[in-house]
Structure 1
Amino acid sequence: MTINLSGAKSHLRIDYDDDDVLIQLYIDAATLHAERYLRRDFATEYPDALPRPIEVAILQHVAEMYRDREANQKEAGTVPPLMWFDLLSTYRVFS
């Protein structure tokens, strides 16, 4: 199970629909980034719900990308927030 659009919009404190496609793109990208970093398949390993730290990490990454969406910095939105690594580190598979 992954983050849904309404949950992300609530986290971002957005109540309009203008950016729904963009926010969903960020959810998909942040989720895939977390899956690859952790070396896990969320749909298989967490079919009912993601562990809260993983969910928060994805939401933080979505918020970072959304906030920096128009920044002209080369690295804007490409590097997850520092807290992201702390939240995910205990779930990472190294083998």
Structure 2
Amino acid sequence: MATPLTDKFGLAQARAHLRLDPDDDDPMIALYMEAAVDRVEQHIQAPLGRNVADVGAQEDVGIPPSLKAAVLLFLGDFWENREASFDHKMIENRAAEALMAPYRTNLGV
């Protein structure tokens, strides 16, 4: 079942990134995709698909490729570690952090 977020990103692209077959677990992929989008939006403090230079903008301008890649990196992390329990602190994804850095808003607030 697709949601507006997964429609924008494309479940096919998510499946390809996760190296899954076309009929594998769409509801779980969508759940982790939404969690990954939420993680990126929290980091940049702006909604994806809006003009992040103007947080109040209502116009959908698409998702920059670097933010889309960050979402996919987090999706992969969430998918790989969906059943794991950690005895250590989970390390942030440095590649995703670097991709998101130019889009952060409200720095110092």
Instruction: Report the TM-score, using the length of structure 2 for normalisation.
Output: 0.72
Structure 2 segments unaligned to the other structure (5+ residues)? 52-58
CA drift at 1:18: 3.4
Instruction: Report the TM-score, using the length of structure 1 for normalisation.
Output: 0.82
RMSD of Structure 2 on Structure 1 (CA): 2.4
Q: Which moved more, 1:12-21 or 1:48-57?
A: 12-21
Structure with the higher fraction of residues in helix conformation: 1
CA drift at 1:89: 0.2
4+ residue segments displaced more than 6 Å: none
CA drift at 1:73: 1.5
**1:65 equivalenced with 2:78 (yes/no):** yes
* 2:10 aligned residue: 4
Larger Rg belongs to? 2
Tell me the number of residue pairs that the alignment of Structure 1 and Structure 2 aligns.
Answer: 94
The alignment-based identity, stated in percent, is 27
* Whole-Å separation in 1 of the counterparts to 2:65 and 2:87: 31
Task: Work out which structure has the larger RCO, using CA pairs closer than 8 Å and 6 or more positions apart in sequence.
Answer: 1
